[in-house]
Every structure is written in structure tokens, then in C-alpha cells.
Amino acid sequence: MSKYNYNRRRSSVAKAGKVEIGGDNPIRVQSMCNTNTNDTEASAAQSLRIAEAGGELVRLTTQGVKEASNMARIKQALKEAGCDVPLVADVHFNPNAAFEAATTCDKVRINPGNFVDAARTFRKLEFTDEEYAQELGKIRAKFVPFLNICKEHHTCVRLGVNHGSLSDRIMSRYGDTPAGMVESVMEFLRIAREEDFDNIVISVKASNVTVMVETVRLLVETMEKEGMSFPLHLGVTEAGDGEDGRIKSAVGIGTLLGDGIGDTIRVSLSEDPEAEIPVAVKLRDYIASRAGHELIPEPATVLPGKARDHAAKLPYPEFPVMDVDFTLQPDWHYVSTAMEPTRYGDEKPVVLTTSSDNRPGAFRSWIDRFVALGGKNPVIVMMGFLTTNLEDLQVEAGADFGPLLLDGYASGIGIVASEKFTKDEVKSIALGILQAARLRISKTEYIACPGCGRTLFDLQKTLAEVKAHTGHLKGLKIGVMGCIVNGPGEMADADYGYVGAGPGRVSIYKGKELVMKNIPAEEALGSLLALIERDA
């Protein structure tokens, strides 16, 4: 794969029901129900709405054997409604539920972090090499019987690793790192290959966009070294809602799709599941429009590290955003990627534009050639967008600026957009992109899951209430999580956390520390705010 010219990675093909994933097939879009899986009518109705919105796969949580068994009834209800969308069972902690789901569903997602290993406790464990090998033997003992059932029923498997649910065993060897996430899934893939099972899709997700992108890239590299090419599902977990959720997803998923990586995607929003589909379609189609673009020069020499590391710093206190009505500076350098880079005898900013259909690739090529020539000037990347739709602008700008910022190709950004948008709207998008890339923090960050059948409170309402009371706390990270599956782990780098603990019960966290356990839901928001106020 090239970092300059868009070409899609060629993967093997997996099949879930009627839907083929990977290979030459289109990138699939999907969502997940937030209904109780035992409620056949509600689950079928929501699955139908997702499918009608364009969702090509629908996932439902299956906490136990009962939920896994009821998936067959949901599937039948959809069939009677004339819908054959493949159903995916989402399993955590319960191999028996996975065994049952493999007989009733088109695809089963298991989490390598908790399929065999106990729930993450953040305890530091020590394993000898022999003990570690014994733990891998336990995986084989549970995983192989599951694969055999999947073979018998032609069931697809998704190995879904989450940053927040790595096992204590993996953590003991690799820590909370992309390498640990990759090894967590590779342990299962090596067993699957030995068992000649290849109907597999993989996901490695995180709420931190930079971690998610780094991990997926490392996974692709690792698989290639071991002769594997399984299709990949992409997503940013706990992205939140509104503008934040759309921008985080566009920066993370868009960067990888632009690399040519990704065969199925989900934009995880703390909104109604069917609202995720149009955003995913926009993102997928926007990146796909780069196909067949004019060839971009492939630099012969590229310096190691990030381009920002080789350039002078801009004289700003924070990573800058250029206003849409930015006045031209007479002594700055204004150039296009169509011009050959030249080494300047000063360190004045270079404002770079492009007319390429693959803007990230064109910018990368020009800046790499510029730095290779010894260019030290900071580069401000400027892009214009023709859309008059706000959501389109959020998605397109996130997808175009994301890879440049994550890979260190800019010292500043500028968005030129339709006059229909206010300056504040455009600046909010630019700042949101910089925050998603962890380059400039300008507001409170929310790590909020989209909700599913495990969620036992009104997640959307709760998130809105938390935002209303904490939106002024610039730089603070607050997690709002529906349950404990990913809750404590996925929000481990949050300052505070609000996690569903059971019917009508919530637990409050400070960092990784559980400070209030199973308190009544009606007291939870007040308790969280009081804790934040005490620490202020």
C-alpha cells in the first residue's frame, strides 16, 4: 500500500449470510441494536430500521445462552417482514453463549480479551513462560470447539479486540499498548489457521483515535509478516454523539480507509442506531471517490519520523487554526502541490493547497519532498469544501485532515467553506479535528458508548445531562458508559467515569479507581458532579 496513491488493500473474503466481506466486495456498513435481545418484536423492528437505512449487517448483544437462542426468533421475524439482513451476535465473557449463537446467527463476535480470560481487573500479574503457554492452551480448549460449530453451520466469526478489555494476562506482557491489542487477536488467528478456518473478520478498536489508527496499521503489518490477509472491520469506540462523534469517526476510520485499509465499518454514535448508517455511507463513499485519481509523485527519499519534527515551530501558543476570513500575509509562502517544492532561505510559514482528488496523498508527497530538500518552514495545510451540509463538512474535513495530522504533516490547518456556515461552526469543526488527533485540547472530551441491550439506563439522556453540566471544563475527559464490558477499561484514560452497574444502579470512577459502587441512578449525576467539584 502507498501513503500517496489510493489503492484498497486486498484481503481474503469472509461471508456472513448473504453478505461477502473483503476481496473485491464493496466496503460494508453496519450498526448495532440497543434493544433487549430477548424482546423479539423490538429487536426485529430496530434491525429492520437499520436495514432500511442501508445497514448491511446488524449486531445484537447476547449476554447469555437465552439471548443467543432468541436470535433465531428475531431472524424469523425479519424474514417474515421480507428482510434477510445478516444478524451478528455480540458475545463477552460467555463461551456457551457463543456456542449457541454459532447455531442461530450468521456471524458471531467474540472478544479475545474475555472469551477465556477473566474480566480485566487492572492487577499486575506475572507469568513464567510455561504458565503463559498453559494459558494459551486454555484458549485452544475453548476456541477450537467454537470453530467446529461455526464450520458446521457456515457461521462467520469476528475477532473483536477492544483497547478497554485487554486481559490482565496480555497486559502483563505487553501493557496497555497497540502491540498488546495486536497480540491479543494474533493468538486466536494462529489457532484458526492451524484449524483451517478462515471465515473471519477482525476488529481492533479504541476510543483514542491515535491508538486505534496505530493499532490497525500494526495489525496489517503483523498479519502480512505471518502470511495472513483477513478482512478488517473499522470503528472508533465510544466516539460519543453529535459533532464530536462524527469527527472522531471521520478522523480515525477515514485515515485508515484512505490507507486502503478496511472492509466493513461502523460509526459508533450515542444516538439511535439507524442514525449511524448515513454517516458511515458518507464516509465510505467520500474516500472511495479518490479511486482512479491522477498519479501522485512517490518521493524517492523520505526522512524518518514526522514532518513536523523536521520543521520550525509556528509562533503560536497552541496548534493553530486559520480563520475562514484569514487575511493573506505578504511575506508568507503560498504554494500548491502542483508546484515542485523549493527550499526557502527563511522559516516563514508555507500555506499549502492542492487540487488533487486525493488531497492527503498529494499533501504527503509534497511535504515529504520538501523536507527531503531540507525545508524547515512550518506548513499550514489549507483545504476548501464545496458542500453546504454541516454533517458532510464534518465528515469530509475529518477524513481529509485526519491522516495529515495523525502522521505529523501539518503545523496548522485552515478550512475554507461555504458562506452558509458561520465562522464559529467552521472553527468548531477545525478544533474538533485537532482534538480528535490529540494535538490541541479546546473543550471537554466525552468517551461515550453508543449503547446496546446491556445498557440499563437512558444513555442518550444521561450523556446530554452530563454534557450540560460539564461542557465548560476544558481539557477534562469524562466517560459515560452503558455497562462494565468496556466501561472501566475503555475509559481508563478518562478523568472521571459514569458506568452502568445494573438495573437502576451506576458506579462512579475517578481514573481507574472505583470510588462509588452501585449507587442509585437518580443520585449518580449529582455524585459525579460533586466529585469533580471537590477535586477542582
Domain ranges of the chain: 24-288, 307-436, 445-535
Residue with cell string 457463543? 98
Q: Are the folds of 24-288 and 445-535 the same?
A: no
Identify the DSSP state of 308.
Answer: G
pLDDT in tens, 437-475: 998 888 998 888 777 777 777 888 888 999 999 989 888
pLDDT of residue 323: 54
* Type of residue numbered 386: L
Residue with cell string 492451524? 194
Q: Which CATH class is domain 445-535?
A: alpha beta
Return the beta strands (E) in 302-418 as ranges: 321-322, 333-336, 350-353, 379-384, 412-416
For residue 525, the number of C-alpha atoms closer than 13 Å in the C-beta half-sphere is 14
pLDDT of residue 120: 62
- pTM confidence score: 0.94
Q: Do 201 and 233 touch, CB atoms closer than 8 A? A: yes
Which residue in 375, 442, 386 sits closest to 415, CA to CA? Answer: 386
C-alpha span between 278 and 31 (Å, rounded): 11
CB burial readout 131-156, b (16+ within 10 A) else e: eeeebeeebbeebeebbebbeeeebb
pLDDT of residue 146: 98
Domain 24-288: assigned CATH number: 3.20.20.20
C-alpha span between 400 and 351 (Å, rounded): 16
Task: Please count the residues of the chain.
Answer: 536
Nearest 10 degrees: Cα torsion 409, 413, 419, 420: 80
pLDDT of residue 194: 97
Measured between alpha carbons, how far is residue 30 from residues 126, 274, 465 in Å? 39, 9, 28
pLDDT of residue 147: 98
Question: Mean pLDDT for each consecutive 10-residue tract of the chain (536 residues)?
Answer: 92 98 97 96 98 98 96 98 97 94 97 81 75 89 97 98 87 90 96 97 94 97 97 90 93 98 95 96 98 92 77 65 62 94 91 96 96 91 96 98 94 92 93 92 86 77 90 89 69 82 87 89 91 88
Phi/psi of residue 387, nearest 5 degrees: -60, 150
pLDDT of residue 318: 61
pLDDT of residue 422: 92
pLDDT in tens, 215-263: 999 999 999 999 999 999 999 987 788 899 999 999 999 999 999 999 9
| The C-alpha cell that represents 450 in the structure block | 453508543
CB under 8 Å to 225, separation ≥6 — which residues?
none
State how far Cα 9 lies from the chain centre: 18
pLDDT of residue 329: 77
What is the DSSP track for 204-220? EEBSSHHHHHHHHHHHH
Phi/psi of residue 290, nearest 5 degrees: -75, -15
Which residue in 68, 63, 49, 54 sits closest to 26, CA to CA? Answer: 54
Question: Sheet harboring 379-384: ordered strands across?
Answer: 321-322, 412-416, 379-384, 350-353, 333-336
pLDDT of residue 252: 97
Q: What is the CA radius of gyration of the chain?
A: 23
pLDDT of residue 324: 47
C-alpha span between 336 and 354 (Å, rounded): 5
pLDDT of residue 122: 60
| The C-alpha cell that represents 155 in the structure block | 457461521
| The C-alpha cell that represents 505 in the structure block | 444502579
